[in-house]
Amino acid sequence: MDQQVPEEPVLTVSHSAASSAAEMLPDGLIAADSEGIVSSVNQRAEQMLGRRAAELVGHDIREVLPLETRNGESWWAMTDPWNGLRTRTGHREKLLQLPDGIELLITARYLRAGRAGPLGAILLSLRDAEARRRAELDHAALISTIAHELRSPLTGVKGFTSTLRRRWDQFSEEQRLTMLEAIDADADRLTRLITDLLDVSRIDSGRLRIHEVPLPTRDIFEHHVKRHVAAGQDEQDFTITVGEGAEEIFADADRLDQVLSNLLENAVRHRAKNVTLEASPWSGPTGPGVMISVSDDGTGIPAEQRRAVFSRFWHGPSGGGTGLGLYIVRGVVEVHGGWAEIDDAPGGGAVVRAFFPAEPS
């Protein structure tokens, strides 16, 4: 007598349970049967499409959701789950649009009866494309910034070198030196921009590396002030204060130089007259360390804008610079295990503080 093999239990889910689960999803979900007739639409899909489920259920999915590529081609004609390859079980996420311009990130799943069997149902996952759009706008802003910042110094370099080549004998030694100094300054601007862009990439990917050593605070402050004095600023407009216990900072020398360069450049751009550099011992939940403060006596930063100050491409009222300086400052300080903030300066204007821990991170 043959022994009967018991059948494997079949997991079944009620329609109400499936509907409840669909409503819990953060993405839109639309289901259609083998003929393409919409059978269910969750609430999130209603919100994204701006249409009620009752307007969609019972209608052909190709008519109520006429998805197109960016070239205006019908996505349904291209994918054709009914007459296309039977081994196809769906499509990975793809940016598509509706005729009214609404953009959606669509992921398709084709349910088939067995391998390469006939189509049983279609499931479409809908995701808002706003995040993708913001990323594209960020990339466009980055390209625009690079193009704008590169054009000016490159134009200067090209103009001066072309003039010198054609009229070298017509200029005095002093005029030639002035032009060469301008070329050198423009080359420095290009180098600085490229360095900033590389550092932004390293910060975003978590690949920024540092080597911390004890550094003399006052010497570093004075070095940066001398740079600005050499560029034409009045030395009397800068004040340096180093408190007891803040004579040394544990930091990467090049990165600390980068932080102070950006902070001073920002303060000089927004000041009315004076800039103050201060270092003082500070201790908090993260332990002891040194607080560097760079303040100006300008108009300051409104409280509602301070959260955006350390973001990429932020520009103050002057609109100068690449908008990457304070973003890099925060990234560098955080790699050291510290933090950065902006506040009202005691005498008016703004103060940017950067905390460096007393011990290497």
Q: Which CATH superfamily is domain 212-357 in?
A: Histidine kinase-like ATPase, C-terminal domain (3.30.565.10)
Per CATH, the number for 133-205 is: 1.10.287.130
Res 287 pLDDT > 50: yes
Res 21 pLDDT > 70: no
- The top-level CATH class assigned to 16-128 is alpha beta
Q: What is the mean pLDDT of the chain?
A: 84
Nearest to 339 by CA among 361, 322, 317: 361
In tens, the pLDDT along 161-219 reads 999 999 999 999 999 998 998 898 888 878 878 888 888 888 888 888 899 999 999 99
Beta-carbon contacts of 342 under 8 Å, excluding residues fewer than 6 positions away, are 301, 306, 309, 310, 326, 350, 351, 352, 353
Cα distance between residue 241 and residue 16, in whole Å: 70
Res 153 pLDDT > 50: yes
HEC profile of 252-272: EHHHHHHHHHHHHHHHHHHCC
The pLDDT of residue 315? 64
- What does the domain layout of the chain look like in residue ranges? 16-128, 133-205, 212-357
Nearest to 45 by CA among 63, 23, 61, 62: 23
Cα distance between residue 345 and residue 19, in whole Å: 57
The pLDDT of residue 37? 94
Cα torsion 45, 51, 56, 62 to 10°: value is -80
Mean pLDDT, range 259-283, rounded to an integer = 91
The pLDDT of residue 1? 46
Q: Give residue for tokens 């625009």.
A: 144
Do 188 and 265 form a contact (C-beta atoms < 8 A)? no
- The overall pTM is greater than 0.85: no
Res 129 pLDDT > 70: yes
Which amino acid would we find at residue 135?
A
Res 260 pLDDT > 90: yes
Mean pLDDT, range 72-88, rounded to an integer = 88
Mean pLDDT, range 119-123, rounded to an integer = 91
Cα distance between residue 239 and residue 259, in whole Å: 18
Do 123 and 157 form a contact (C-beta atoms < 8 A)? no
Cα distance between residue 125 and residue 109, in whole Å: 8
* Residues facing residue 31 across a β-bridge: 40, 123
Distance of CA 173 to the CA centre of its chain: 47
Res 317 pLDDT > 70: no
Res 158 pLDDT > 70: yes
Nearest to 264 by CA among 216, 321, 302: 321
